[in-house]
Amino acid sequence: MNILAVAGGTGLAGSAVVREALARGFSVRSLSRRLPQPSTALDGVDYAVADAATGEGLAAALDGAEILIDALEDRRLRAQKLFPEAGRRLLAAAHGSGVRRAVMLSIAQCDELDFGYYRSKVAKEKLYDAAPMPSAVVRAAQFHPLLAQIFAAGHPLRIVPSVRRARLAPIDVRDVARALLDAAVEEGDGHALRTVSGPETRPVRDFAEEWKDIVGSRARIVGLPAPGGVGRYLSQGRNLAPESAFGTITFAQWLKESKSASPDLP
């Protein structure tokens, strides 16, 4: 049975990839800096401690793996600066261990915005494009929980923050996991790039109205301008990737099944 290694396998996207890989019959190894709590560990998964930022434990954790899916994520400023180098270490260890295909999770339209977090993704994408083994980069639109976090952020002020003149096509992390696994099993000797978005492209305010209705909030939606380059990026629709719809789970569907949709919000 093929061993599929998931770097960042205990994170939001990584854990969804682990579940999808198990469902497809892979032998799964999850790589993370710390082992998960026993209550959150999944049966049948080989959990290994490894740190791409330092290289510690990578060779041992990747030993025997045939496919690598890189779902590493860290939004801290220092981590962003080290992100490309961590990718370099991970790819070098994968090559040394005989991994035959590597897949990276990135952000939709990340090359359209001169923003630190996005720049770190683009820099890492270039490493995968030059990897010594066949590789793929899957760029994904914003995840549903991000929208919910934004809308809930105004809870203390009894408002629901929205973004003026902005449209989004959010995607469920389970759909992203499917796309990553699809890329992992593709045949070919080159380096592929694919963008996946959710099933709906709508104004942010529409999603805010939906969030209010489903969670039972009585707060007022307030449209806020996005500053500078981010504002232009959003208002010009450069965050959207035409014809990239892939997801099947809508924001409303996710909210209705999510425990984070609290009726206690204002």
- Are 203 and 167 in contact by the 8 Å Cβ rule? The answer is yes
The per-residue pLDDT for 78 is 64
For residue 216, being part of any structural domain is answered with no
Residue 242 has pLDDT above 60, yes or no: yes
Question: What is the number of residues in the chain?
Answer: 266
How far is the C-alpha of 184 from the C-alpha of 174, rounded, in Å? 15
Q: How many domains does one find in the chain? A: 1
Could you identify the residue written with the tokens 């980069």? 137
Distances (CA, A) of 164 to 149, 194, 204, 217: 17, 28, 8, 20
Residue 228 has pLDDT above 70, yes or no: yes
For residue 253, being part of any structural domain is answered with no
Q: Which amino acid is at 136?
A: A
For residue 109, being part of any structural domain is answered with yes
For residue 165, being part of any structural domain is answered with no
| Residue 192 structural domain | 3-141+172-196
Distances (CA, A) of 101 to 136, 180, 219, 258: 8, 12, 48, 34
CA atoms 32, 37, 40, 46: torsion sign: positive
E-assigned strands of the chain? Answer: 3-7, 27-32, 45-49, 67-70, 101-107, 135-140, 159-163, 167-168, 191-196, 202-203, 220-224
The per-residue pLDDT for 175 is 98
Residue 189 has pLDDT above 80, yes or no: yes
CATH number, domain with residue 44? 3.40.50.720
Distances (CA, A) of 126 to 15, 115, 235: 25, 17, 27
Tokens encoding 37: 């709590």
For residue 100, being part of any structural domain is answered with yes
Residue 266 has pLDDT above 50, yes or no: no
The per-residue pLDDT for 259 is 57
Distances (CA, A) of 122 to 131, 169, 177, 193: 14, 20, 20, 12
Give 2-16 pLDDT, tens digit per residue: 899 999 999 999 999
For residue 63, being part of any structural domain is answered with yes
Distances (CA, A) of 19 to 33, 71, 102: 19, 13, 18
Residue 35 has pLDDT above 50, yes or no: yes
What proportion of the chain, given as a percentage, has pLDDT over 70?
94
Give 253-264 pLDDT, tens digit per residue: 999 998 554 545
At residue 197, the 3 state secondary structure works out as: strand
For residue 261, being part of any structural domain is answered with no
Distances (CA, A) of 198 to 136, 139, 171, 240: 20, 12, 4, 11
**DSSP, res 153:** T
Beta strand pairing call for 3-7 and 27-32: parallel
Among 3-7, 70-74, 80-84, 156-160, where is mean pLDDT lowest? Answer: 80-84
The per-residue pLDDT for 263 is 45
Confidence of residue 74 (pLDDT cuts 50, 70, 90): confident
For residue 74, being part of any structural domain is answered with yes
How far is the C-alpha of 201 from the C-alpha of 161, rounded, in Å? 19
196 beta partners = 140
Tokens encoding 59: 């060779």
